[in-house]
Each structure stands twice: as C-alpha cells, then as structure tokens.
Amino acid sequence: MQTQSQVELGLVGKVVLVTGGGRGVGAGITRVLASLGARPVICGRSADKVADDLREVAFVACDVRDAAAVDAMVEEIVGRAGRIDGVVNNAGGSPFALAADASARFTGKIVDLNLLAPLAVARAANAVMQTQDEGGAIVNVSSVSGHRPSPGTSAYGAAKAGLDNLMTSLAVEWAPRVRVNSVVAGPVVTELSHLHYGDDAGVEAVGATIPMGRMATPADVGNAVAFLLSPLAGYISGSTLTVHGGGEKPAFLDAATAGNAV
C-alpha cells in the first residue's frame, strides 16, 4: 500500500502560497503539500506563530487585508521562486459574537478577512498565473458555515457564502489558464478547538454528531486541497468540494418519537 509520501499527484516542485499556513488548518495543508514534494510558501502576519516543525518552510510576512501588501508579497514570491503555481486562501476565521451585539467595525473586519482578502490574494496571483505556460490553480478554504445558519458567527458565514459564489465567477473570468475552486470544511480539530468547542469532552461530543464519528483533522482538509491543486483535477473549476464527514444529522431525527427514527 502506498503511503501519502509515495503518492504522485504532480505537485513536485510546484510553488504554492498558503495564507495562514503556519498553524491550525493551514499548517495541516502546508504539511500535506510538503509531503507531496511541493514548495509551499507560508504567509502570515508573524513568523512567531508558525508551528515548530514548519520553521524551515519559506515564509513571507503579510497582512492579507492590505491589498498593497498582498501585491508586494506575490511579487516577492515570484522574485524568489520565478513563478507561483498555486494559491490556498486559508487565512480566516471569526470569534463568537451575536449579530445584535457586534459593531459595524467588527463586522467589517470579519468580511475583510474572509472575503475581500482572498479576492485580493487571488487577483494578485492570477495576474502572474495568466502569464505562465501552465497557468495555475487557486483553492479557497471555505466553511459549512456559509451553507447553513451560523449563529454567533453570522458575518463569517455570510462572508464564506460570498467567497464560494465569488469562486464561481472567477473560475469563469480566469479560465482556461487558471482554475478556481473551494474546499468547504466542516468542524476541524486544531490547537484552537477549545475556543469553539470547549474541552476534550466538547470536541468528542461535536464529533459524535458527525456521521463519520469524528471531526476533521487539518490533514483531511490538506488532502482535499492537494487534489484540487493537482493535475488530477485539471478539468475541475468553479466547484466546491465538501469535507465534512457526511455533514450534520438533522435535529428532527433526535426529536422524533417514531419507532424508525435514527
């Protein structure tokens, strides 16, 4: 049986920018890409937050909410590597805040990070990819929050819904040289899981609501991203790949009293 490191996906030597690639889900994506022979480049606001095992991976400091800084970052990557073959728009997230309590400034920052920043990164990368013989591929890491109610993170959910819609438009505008897709992730276990789900018991309880019996790992998301970046997905563009372990069991099934309720 082949191990992941032995699988050939056609990513060897490919230069791939991973925003927020130093920790959490992003770190998992970076590890998967590196294991497949790609040349990931981590983007973050500070190298101090990069996981210890990824310290040798190329790093570029950038606040992706700053469009001018994004343009400079892509220019730096191309200056170093000569090209940019892939982009993973992973940076994002939101603290809990009920919509009635969240300020306009807070909401704006959430939309900036989760919708406008990925657009800025994608635009800068596309300008380079369009000039390359092999073009390039862009993958946005989205969320199931954009496809169901997201109480407590409503602006985040709305931004992710916008990101997935944006992806379909960019896939049309930038074809055929650049492919654009989304990975729609469900709950993922990371070093920050306790902020959303509580202690280990909370994580386990959330996992029990998922048909696969557990939450995703960062590597699960990374594997999906790697596929969409690879030549195996060469005819896939404008699509969402949902990585949520089968989704959420409908609440009515637990509430129903019929004998066949499951």
| Amino acid making up residue 120 | A
Whose tokens are 């073959």? That residue is 85
Beta-ladder partners of 39: 15
Taking a C-beta distance cutoff of 8 angstroms, is the pair 86, 54 a contact? no
Q: What is the DSSP string of 51-117?
A: -GGGTTSEEEE--TT-HHHHHHHHHHHHHHHS---EEEE---------TTT--HHHHHHHHIIIIIH
- Residue 178 amino acid letter: V
Active-site residue identified among 156, 174, 197, 227:
156
| CA separation, residue 26 to residues 1, 54, 98, 131 (Å) | 27, 11, 26, 27
Could you give the C-alpha distances from 242 to 16, 28, 74, 102, 185, in angstroms and in order? 21, 17, 28, 29, 6
How far is it, in rounded angstroms, from Cα 57 to Cα 88? 15
Cis peptide before 176 (omega within 30 of 0): yes
Assess whether 156 carries a catalytic annotation.
yes
3-state secondary structure of 4: helix
Q: Residue 182 forms beta bridges with which residues?
A: 140, 240
d(CA 26, CA 90): 6
Catalytic residues, which ones? 156
